[in-house]
């Protein structure tokens, strides 16, 4: 709960007071989110980071950084139609054999693709990665 208290908008003063007349409070919403997260780990399952991120976003447990928003699963049929159109356009451009100059910085698309790939990692890898970046790995 300390992690929620320190960073979740659901348990700040406004979130806690949000429930009026039978509405769920921020604490109720936070509890539902934590239960959904715990369900991902039932039976010693090791969910992907993407699955964890999706539950965090769905339950609004924490703010999601802008860089990760495009990596969230989207269930909107309109957005899926747009994705299909853009994919078709991409194939058309591929047929033209257009190239990007070598010195061009990465585009938003390649950054999103990199995040999407990274989020496929099992959540158990997060602790190992933290140990690595803090130079505590053995």
Q: Is residue 86 part of a domain?
A: no
Q: Is residue 78 part of a domain?
A: no
Answer whether 68's CB lies under 8 Å from 53's CB: yes
Average pLDDT over residues 9-30: 68
Closest C-alpha to 54, from 42, 43, 70: 70
Answer whether 62's CB lies under 8 Å from 89's CB: no
Instruction: Give 1 or 37, the one with higher predicted confidence.
Output: 37
Q: Is residue 43 part of a domain?
A: yes
Whole-model pTM: value is 0.68
What local confidence, expressed as pLDDT, does residue 6 receive? 78
Q: Is residue 92 part of a domain?
A: no
Query: 54 CB contacts (<8 Å, ≥6 apart)?
Result: 72, 73
What is the total count of domains within the chain? 1
Q: Is residue 35 part of a domain?
A: yes
Domain ranges, residue 26: 2-72+105-133
């Amino acid at each position: 709960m300390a992690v929620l208290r320190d960073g979740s908008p659901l348990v700040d003063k406004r979130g806690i007071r949000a429930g009026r007349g039978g509405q769920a409070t921020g604490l109720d919403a936070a509890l539902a989110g934590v239960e959904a997260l715990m369900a991902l780990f039932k039976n010693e399952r090791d969910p992907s980071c993407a699955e964890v991120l999706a539950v965090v976003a769905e339950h609004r447990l924490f703010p999601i950084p802008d860089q990760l928003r495009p990596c969230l699963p989207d269930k909107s049929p309109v957005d899926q139609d747009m994705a299909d159109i853009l994919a078709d356009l991409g194939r058309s451009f591929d047929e033209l054999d257009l190239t990007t100059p070598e010195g061009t910085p990465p585009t938003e698309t390649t950054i999103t693709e990199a995040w999407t790939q990274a989020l496929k990692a099992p959540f158990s890898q997060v602790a190992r990665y933290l140990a690595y970046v803090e130079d505590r790995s053995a």
